[in-house]
Chain A
C-alpha cells in the first residue's frame, strides 16, 4: 500500500518504507475506531486531545529519534523532563520571571545533554549506562527539590498556560446545544515546530545526514571523513535540549510539578520512535514517522479505554503487543528487502 501512495521512480528507501507503513497502519486503525467505536473518535477534538496530552512525549520522542538514528539510546529524557517541570514550578512560585523560567528549562536540558554527550562521545562510555545514571540523578534531584506536589502560582504563567487556540469550525455541538470549539494548547504548536525543525535538520543539513551515516556504519562514517565524536555529541546535546523543551511543555499542560511526573516517559518515547520506523539498530528513521508513532501509540490506548477495558494494565499490555507487532513487521519487511537484492 505504501508504495502506491508515492509515485516515484526510485524504490522507497528503508526510512521512507517504514514511515509509510506506520502512517498506513495509523490511518487504518483510526478509521477502524471511527467505524466501530464512534463516540469521541468522530470529533476532531479527539485528535487534538491526544496531541494536548502528549505534546511533551512527542518532543522527547523527536530527541530519541535523533539519538537512535545515530545508533545510540537516551533513557534520561523522562527524568530530565520531570526535573525541568519541578525546577520551573518552584522558580515561578518564588515570583520568577516567565522568560527566565523558559531559559532555565532549556539550560537544564542542555546541561544534561552536554554532560551525557561528553561522557558518551569523548570518553567512550556506553550510552545506556551514562543515561541511566543521568536518569537516576535527575529523578533524585527532582525529589530533593520537592517531595510534595507543587502547583504553579504565577499569574503570567497561568495566563500563558490557559491560552488555547480555538477553532470553531472543527468544534461540535454538545448535548445542551452549545458549540464547543476545538481547542489546541500552545504546547502542541511548540511540538510541531520541533518536529518541523528536526525534520529539516535531519534531511537537509550535513549534521543530520551525518547522524544517518554514523548510525548506518560507524567505521564507514569515520572513513568518509565525518567527525563521529562530534556528531555523536551533537545528537545527545539535541536530545537534552528537547527534554528541556518537553519539560516546559509538560508544565504548560499540567500546571503543576510532581516528583512522579513523566514517569516511564522514556520508554513510551522509545516505543513511539520504534513504531514510527526508527529501529534501535540505527541509520534509519525520521521524525514524521515518530509523529505518527506517537499518535499510533496514543490512539491504541484510547481505543483500549473506549472499548471498556478501563484498567491501566490493559494499556500496558496493548502497548507491549503493539511494539512487538511493529518490530516484527519492520524486521520482516527489511529482511525480505535484503533477500530480493541478493
Chain B
C-alpha cells in the first residue's frame, strides 16, 4: 500500500431487495487530492457515499483509513473517524449564528460560552478565508458561504476525508470559484476531498483523479489529465466510441413539414435558463444530456410546472401565456412527470380515479364525470394500453412500476392532448413495457400528436425521436437530426469536445 493512501475501500458490495446496488467496487483516496466520483443516475455513487458516511451498512468488503481497518456504523461514527460530508442541501440551522452552527452538538460543558466560541470561529473563518462573521445569523449569508461554513465545521472536527455531495448545484459562477479556492486550500493542507458532481467542466477544473461507476460496478480510476471529456461521457454512459461509430441506425427518420404546433422563444423559468424551442405536429423530439444538464427543467418550463420568468410562447401560431400547468393543459399540452411517485400517481386512489384525474381537472369541478363514463374510460384505456391490474378499482400503489406509468399515460391520453411531454417514462420499468411505451409514442405521433420524449438511455431516444436537443450544464449545446442522429455524435455533443 502506498504511503500517501488516506482511504481505501475494497470489494464493496451492497444489495437492496431485488437490486445489486454495488458489486465489488474499489475506491482509493490519497492525501491532498480532489477525487471526482462520477456516474449516471443509479450508478451507485450515492450508495457508495452513504456506506462511507455510515448511513448504509455494506454487505461485503472492507474500508481502511490511513491503513487501519475501520467499520463505520453511523454518521457519528464516520465523523469520529475523520470522514465528514457536506450535502447538497445544507444541513445547518439558518436561525442560529455562524459560530453556533460550527460548534453546536459538539460541546460537553453545561454552559454555552458564546464569546469564546465566536472568537474561535472567527479564527477558523479567517484561516480558511471564508467571508462570514461568527456572530452573524447563518440565514443572512449566501448559500455558498453557508456551504463553506459547513466545510469549516468539518475542518474544525479534524476531518481527513471531506465528501462534497453536489456542492455546486445551487451556486452561481462566482460562488463556485470561491468554493473551488477553498477546496484547493484544503487540498494543500493534506485533506482528501471526494467531489460528487454532474457538472463535467467543474470536474476538469478542480479534480486530480476521476473514478467512474456504472450500474453498481467500477468502470475505472483515471487521472483527470489523461481522460478526455468525451471518453469520460462514454464511460459513464457505457459505450466505447469506436464500437459506436460502426453502429448505424436502421431506419432514417424523415423530416415532416407539418405546421409548427408549439413554439417558445427565450423561455426561462426559476430553474431553467432561457432557451428556444419548437415542435411540429406529429413530431417526436427529445431532450438529452446528462442528469442535471437541465433537460427536465426545460420541459417543466414548457408545461409551466416551475415559476416561468419570461419568454414568448406560441401554440398553433397564437401568442399564449403558460405560467401554470392548468394553462398548458387548456392548450392541449400534457406532461408526464419524471418522478412518478412524487409528481404523478396518487397511490391510494384506484386505477379509475387516477385515469380520470386530469380530465376532471380540465372540466372543472362543476362538470363531474358520471360514474359510468368513468368506468367506460378506465376500461377502454386499461385495454388499449394493456395495463395489468386486478380491476379498475385496484389502488394504483399496488401495481408494478411499468403499469403505474401506463396509468399516468392513460390519464393524459384521455385529455386528447395535441402535445405530450414524457419525462423519463421508461425509468425503472421492465424491458417489455419499455418497448410498449416506445411503440405507443410512435403510434401517437402517427395520429398527429407531438411528443417530447426524455430518457437517460440514449438508444431509446434514437429509436423514437426524429430530432434531439442536446443540453449541457443547463444550456442547449446542439440540435441533432437526420444522419447526425447516432450515438457517437450524441456523446460528442454532450461532452462538448472533439472526439
> Chain A: residues with CB nearer than 8 A to chain B?
9-11, 13-15, 203-206, 208-210, 212-213, 215-217, 219-221, 223-226, 283-284, 337-338, 341
Q: Top 8 A-B pairs ranked by shortest CB distance?
A: A225-B105, A216-B93, A216-B95, A283-B95, A223-B91, A224-B105, A220-B91, A226-B105
CB contacts (< 8 Å) of A284 on chain B: these are 95
Interface residues of B in 102-157 (CB under 8 A from A): 104-107, 109-112, 114, 133, 135-137, 139-142
B75 at interface, CB cutoff 8 A: yes
B101 at interface, CB cutoff 8 A: yes
Please list 22 pairs of residues, one from A and one from B, whose beta carbons are closer than 8 Å in the complex, sorted by A's number: A10-B136, A11-B140, A13-B137, A206-B104, A206-B107, A206-B111, A209-B104, A210-B104, A210-B105, A212-B95, A216-B96, A217-B92, A217-B94, A220-B93, A223-B91, A224-B105, A225-B79, A225-B105, A226-B105, A283-B93, A283-B95, A341-B142
Chain A: CB-nearest residue to B135? A10
Give complex CA distance A16, B112 in Å.
18
> Chain B: residues with CB nearer than 8 A to chain A?
75-76, 79, 87, 90-97, 100-101, 104-107, 109-112, 114, 133, 135-137, 139-142
Of A11, A208, A209, A216, the residue contacting B94 (CB under 8 A) is: A216
- Quote the shortest CB–CB distance from B212 to chain A (angstroms): 28
Chain A: CB-nearest residue to B133? A10
CB contacts (< 8 Å) of A13 on chain B: these are 95, 97, 137
Interface contact tally, CB-CB below 8 A: 84
Q: Would you call A206 and B112 a contact (CB within 8 A)? A: yes
- Quote the shortest CB–CB distance from A65 to chain B (angstroms): 15
Best-buried of A204, A224, A225 by chain B (most CB within 10 Å): A224
Give complex CA distance A95, B141 in Å.
62
- Quote the shortest CB–CB distance from A331 to chain B (angstroms): 15
Secondary structure at the A interface, as helix, strand, loop or mixed, is: helix
Given A11-B136, A204-B111, A341-B140, 11 other A-B contacts at CB below 8 A?
A11-B140, A14-B137, A206-B109, A206-B111, A206-B112, A216-B95, A217-B93, A224-B104, A224-B105, A283-B95, A341-B139
Q: Would you call A205 and B139 a contact (CB within 8 A)? A: no
CB contacts (< 8 Å) of B140 on chain A: these are 11, 337, 341
Give complex CA distance A15, B112 in Å.
18
Give complex CA distance A215, B104 in Å.
14
Give complex CA distance A223, B114 in Å.
21
Q: Would you call B96 and A204 a contact (CB within 8 A)? A: no
Give complex CA distance A215, B94 in Å.
10
Give complex CA distance A199, B454 in Å.
56
Give complex CA distance A227, B94 in Å.
18
Give complex CA distance A223, B74 in Å.
11
